[in-house]
Every structure is written in C-alpha cells, then in structure tokens.
Amino acid sequence: MAQRSSSDLFIKEYQDRFEKKLRENEINSLEHWKAQLDKVIAMRPDGVASIQLQITKISEMMANRIKVLKKE
C-alpha cells in the first residue's frame, strides 16, 4: 500500500509541475501576442491600410508559429 501512495504522490507532483509549466507557456505566449497588438495600438497610422498591414503581419506571424508547433 505504501508503494501505491508513493506512486500516487509522484504522479500528483508530476501533474502539478506539468500544469504549472503549461500555464507559464500560455502566459508567455499571450504576453508576446499582446505586445504585438500593443504596438499596433500605439502607432499613429495615416489610414486604415497601415493598420490592416500590421494586423496582417501579426496574423502571418501567428500562422508561422502554429506551423512550427505542429511540426514538433
């Protein structure tokens, strides 16, 4: 019985570390993309076209990142 509780404890600790790392990765990802959007918000565009161009660039960056992650 002691062996089982030891295994359960190991699994619980491993799950906790995994979930913590997952949260950290998600926070980092969101911070990165928020910074990209903040740059667009901060700019003083001449018109809608320049905003569209920046949003398109961000969208392409996201698509490239998704493609890279799917390959891993």
Positions of E strands within 28-71: none
What confidence score (pLDDT) does residue 1 get? 47
What's this model's pTM, rounded to 2 decimal places? 0.70
The structure tokens listed for 3 are 């062996």
pLDDT exceeds 60 at position 2: no
Please check whether residue 54 is in contact with residue 39, taking contact to mean a CB–CB distance below 8 angstroms: yes
Task: Say which residue the tokens 């997952």 belong to.
Answer: 22
Average pLDDT, rounded, for the chain:
89
What confidence score (pLDDT) does residue 72 get? 75
The letter for the amino acid at 22 is: L
Residues 21-53: tens digit of each pLDDT: 999 999 999 999 999 999 888 888 788 888 899
DSSP 43: S
The letter for the amino acid at 12 is: K
Q: How large is the greatest C-alpha to C-alpha distance in the chain, in angstroms?
A: 71
